[in-house]
Structure 1
Amino acid sequence: MKTIRCLVVDDKPLALDILTDYIRKIDFLEFVASTTSALEALKLVEQESIDLLFLDIQMPELTGIQVMKILGDKCRVILTTAYTEYALEGYEHNVVDYLLKPIAFDRFYKAAQKAKQAFELRQAATTVPAAEAPALERQAETASTARDIIFIKSEHRIVKLRLDDILYVEGLQNYVSIYTKTERILSLKNIKKMEELLPKQQFVRVHKSYIISLDKIDAIERSRIFICEAVIPVGETYKDNFMSVLGQVNTPG
């Protein structure tokens, strides 16, 4: 896989220096440019064929959210901010990750790995021979006759998954990440298809980008669900159905 071409956008020069240094330490990332101007960033994405944008949310000309809306699908985005309240809005736009300042290098590296996996998966999708793709897709969408097993296409492999092992599913544009306690599996399947595949008595859609396993919930606080170390937002569109499902689960049989 080619290196991922990166642009850093932040109105604070110190933040630019830190993220630029982090990018240069990772061999699969390529630092292309940095800027304190959101308007300049829009031009650079077009001129420099940027793959990944490290984007601050609070900037004077345009906010990071506004920049993402203008760019659409032209590049992937990792948001950076000092304010936790913007996290849910960021995930509404299918960002790769959300980094809270001050950003430690190990957390930055984790976000970079997530971006790398996303690009590798997209590249794999374009390299599967056309004659093989339909057969692979049919196999990946086939559920086992055993009620607790499904088969998922991940790159060039078909992976068997126990439903009881799935914690939650995160949708990211045209693919999903399936999280278990021991691994994260990327699949070229969108969130809607995963919702159709998973049994509704065990899994529920709580956000346009998330499906959770009901029996893996550790706690619920306001519009957030805690599963292991993950904090999952509950979207307004899905809140009523989620609360209804919870009521059914808690109703004595």
Structure 2
Amino acid sequence: MITCAIIDDEPLSRQVLRQFVTDHPDLSLKGEYKDALEALAGIEQNEVDLLLLDINMPKLSGINFYKSLSSKPLVIFTTAYPEFALDGFELNAVDYLMKPIAFDRFLKAIQKVKGRLKTSREIQDYILLKVDKKLYRTPFSDILYLEAFGDYAKVHLENQVLIITSTMKKMEAELPNELFIRTHKSYIINTSKVEFIEGNQVKIGSQMIPIGLRYREAVLEKMK
């Protein structure tokens, strides 16, 4: 799933985009904001893959808002003013949608997003993990397994444990599925770190990680 947020000061525009996102099987809406200032706190707490961002908004424009982000998701700019298009593309925007937005044009933009994400994930061999206000550049090869921890997740590395504000579902979507697999509702493992499987458990390092009944077939198939 591609997680996204809508930032637009027009209620009707937010309604249209919300429906488009709902109708798309690969999109998951994680936030909806009426202006850039309101979005700042929301994006900080709930990171997303994609912003559907209006350019012409009061207080802080979409362009300046995007420039201010330290960690920049992919962005599709939306606006009724074509003169802003150049500014948007200079920020490496995936696409630029003119209002009123047609659904078929929205679909084309999302295809570009999927292509951009696929390319970045093929090249990238690490993940950025946010701990407090720090971003840790963590190679996939350093991760042993992930463990659910209330509203957080524990990322177990060779020599330390990082506690991040994220759900297991979000982490499962962000990690490459050729290397990681969910073994249990509370665990995701790095398959290259598995020493052996015994009964309904896998051994990674000094830990025995449970395999849930619903995940067992997929895990065994993956480990062949």
Question: TM-score normalised by the shorter chain: which range applies?
Answer: 0.5 to 0.7
CA distance in 2, matches of 1:45, 1:69: 14
Q: Does the CA-based 8 Å contact 1:77-1:97 persist in structure 2?
A: yes
1:65 alignment partner, one of 47, 63, 66: 63
Judging by fraction of residues, say which structure has more strand. 2
**AA partner of residue 18 (structure 1):** V
The offset of 1:126, in angstroms, is 2.7
1:123 alignment partner, one of 121, 126, 134: 121
Partner of 2:86: 88
Q: Does the CA-based 8 Å contact 2:66-2:72 persist in structure 1?
A: no
CA distance in 1, matches of 2:69, 2:27: 21
Partner of 1:7: 5
Q: Does the CA-based 8 Å contact 1:44-1:50 persist in structure 2?
A: no
Residue 39 of structure 2 is aligned to residue 31 of structure 1 = no
- Count of residue correspondences: 127
Partner of 2:104: 106
**AA partner of residue 45 (structure 1):** I
**AA partner of residue 4 (structure 1):** I
CA distance in 2, matches of 1:31, 1:23: 7
CA distance in 2, matches of 1:8, 1:66: 16
CA distance in 2, matches of 1:56, 1:127: 32
Residue 49 of structure 2 is aligned to residue 51 of structure 1 = yes
Report Cα offsets for 1:125-158 as digits up to 9, x if no partner.
1359x9xxxxxxxxxxxxxxxxxxxxxxxxxxxx
CA distance in 2, matches of 1:88, 1:125: 28
**AA partner of residue 82 (structure 2):** T
**AA partner of residue 115 (structure 1):** V
Percentage of matched positions with identical amino acids: 46
Q: What SS class does the counterpart of residue 61 from structure 1 fall into?
A: coil
Give the TM-score, by structure 1 length. 0.48
Task: Kindly report which structure 2 residues correspond to 1:195-234, keeping only aligned pairs within 5 A, or say none.
Answer: none
The offset of 1:79, in angstroms, is 0.2
The offset of 1:73, in angstroms, is 4.1
Partner of 1:153: none
The offset of 1:16, in angstroms, is 0.3
Give the TM-score, by structure 2 length. 0.54
Structure 2 runs not aligned, ≥5 long? 127-138, 140-224
CA distance in 1, matches of 2:58, 2:9: 8
Structure 1 runs not aligned, ≥5 long? 131-253
Distance 1:64 1:42, change over 3 A: same
